[in-house]
Structure 1
Amino acid sequence: MEKVKKVVAFPTSVFITGDSGTGKEVLANYIHQYSPQKDAPFIKVNCAAIPAELFESELFGYAEGAFTVAKKGGKAGLFEKANTGTILLDEIGELPLLMQAKLLRVLQDQAITRIGDSKLIPLTFRLVCSTSKDLRDLVNKKQFREDLWYRINVIHLNIPPLYKRKSDILPLIDVYLTMLCEQYG
C-alpha cells in the first residue's frame, strides 16, 4: 500500500498481479479513487469475457456503416469512454495476440481509430492492467507480446495470497463482521 500511495498521483501505467480473489480489482478501484482522475470515468474491461471477434469493436468502437449491423452514428469503444479517466484491463493475459498489437499501438499513440473510420481520436487515460497469469512465462512461450509487456509493466504491484498475509485475517474479519452486523442489525 505504501508503493500504491506513492504512485496514485502519477498517470503511469500500473500492472497488478496476484492469484484469483486476492483483490486486484479492489486495488485498481483504490488507485482510481485516489488519483487526479477520480471524478472521470473508470472503465473496467474483463478481457476473459469478451469473445475474440468482438474485442476490436468493444475496445475501439466503430463508425456508422462499418458493418451490416453497425448502429446509426457508430459506437464509442471502451477506451473512448475512459477518456480523461482510468481503464482497467482485467485478465490481460487473455487478450488475443492480434489485439495485443492493436493495444500496443493505442498505448504508443494515445489515440484510437474506430473500425470503419480513418479519423484518429486522441485520448488521455490511465492504464491499469491485472492478471493472475505469469505474463513473463507467456512472453517466453510467445503467447504474449514482449513489447506490450514492457509497456504495461511500468509499476508492478503484486498482491500475495491471504495465506501469505496472515496478519490481514483478523482485520478483514473485523471489517466483515462490522458490515454484516450493520446490515442485519
Structure 2
Amino acid sequence: MFQEVDDLFAHAIHRESYRSGGPLIKVNCAAIPDTLFESELFGYKEGAFTGAKKSGKKGKFALARGGTIFLDEISEMPLMMQVKLLRVLQEKEIEQVGADKPESIDVRIIAATNKDLLTLVEKGLFRHDLFGI
C-alpha cells in the first residue's frame, strides 16, 4: 500500500522521538468541513449542541495526548481555526466546545501541505503569525 511522503516523515519523526510510546493521530484538514473543525480537533462536552453525543466526544488533540498529532493539508484549515491552533501552540491548552475552562495539552504537532504557504500568507489565506512559528 502506498503512503504519501509526508505521512512517512510524520511516522518516522514520531517513531524516533521520546513520544513514540504515545499515539500518532493523523488529521486530513482538507477532509473536515469548516463547521466541524473545532469539535473534531478539540472535542465537545455533553449538551454542547443539538445532535451531539450524550457523553460528549474527545477531540483529536486529546486523543494525541502524550504523542503526536499530524495535521496534513494544514493550508486547508479555515482562518478561524488557525487562530485557535495558534493559541494551542502558544498556551499549550485546548478548550472543548461547551467547556467552562481550558485543559492543558501535551502533544507534538507536525504539519504538512502541498501548497506554498508564503503565497497563501501574502493572499491573506494563511495567518502570518502561524506561518512564522
**Fold agreement, TM-score > 0.5:** yes
Aligned to 2:48: 66
Q: Does 1:77 align with 2:49?
A: no
Q: Could you tell me the percent identity over the aligned residues? A: 53
**Which runs of 4 or more aligned residues in structure 1 lie more than 4 Å from their structure 2 counterparts after TM superposition?**
none
* Aligned counterparts of 2:91 and 2:35: Cα–Cα separation in 1: 23
Question: Match of 2:24?
Answer: 42
Root mean square deviation, CA, Å: 1.1
Task: State the shift of 1:22 in Å.
Answer: 5.9
Measured after TM superposition, the shift of residue 68 of structure 1 is: 1.2
The letter for the 2-side match of 1:71 is K
Secondary structure of the 1:43 match is strand
Q: Secondary structure at the match of 1:48?
A: helix
Deviation, 1:119, is 2.0
| 1:99 maps onto 2:116 in alignment | no
What does residue 27 of structure 1 align with? 9
- Partner residue, 1:7: none
**2:72 matched residue in structure 1:** 90
In structure 2, distance between residues paired with 1:28 and 1:100: 20
Choose between structure 1 and 2 for higher RCO, CA contacts under 8 A separated by at least 6 residues.
Answer: 1
What is the distance in 1 between the residues matched to 2:4 and 2:58?
A: 32
Instruction: Report deviation, 1:96.
Output: 0.6
Which protein shows a greater Rg? 1
C-alpha separation in 1, matches of 2:119 and 2:34: 22
SS at match of 2:87: helix
Structure 2 residue aligned with 1:118: 100
User: 1:73 deviation in Å?
Assistant: 2.2
SS in 1 for 2:119: helix
Aligned equivalent of 2:116, options 131, 134, 154: 134
CA distance in 2, matches of 1:72, 1:24: 36
Structure 1: 5+ residue runs without aligned partners?
Answer: 1-20, 152-185
Secondary structure at the residue paired with 1:84?
Answer: coil
Paired amino acid for 1:138 = L
Write the letter of the residue equivalent to 1:99. Answer: M
Hey, what's the Cα distance between the residues in 2 that align with 1:116 and 1:22? 36
2:24 is aligned with what amino acid? F
Query: Following superposition of structure 1 onto structure 2, how do residues 4-23 of structure 1 map, counting pairs within 5 Å?
Result: 23=5
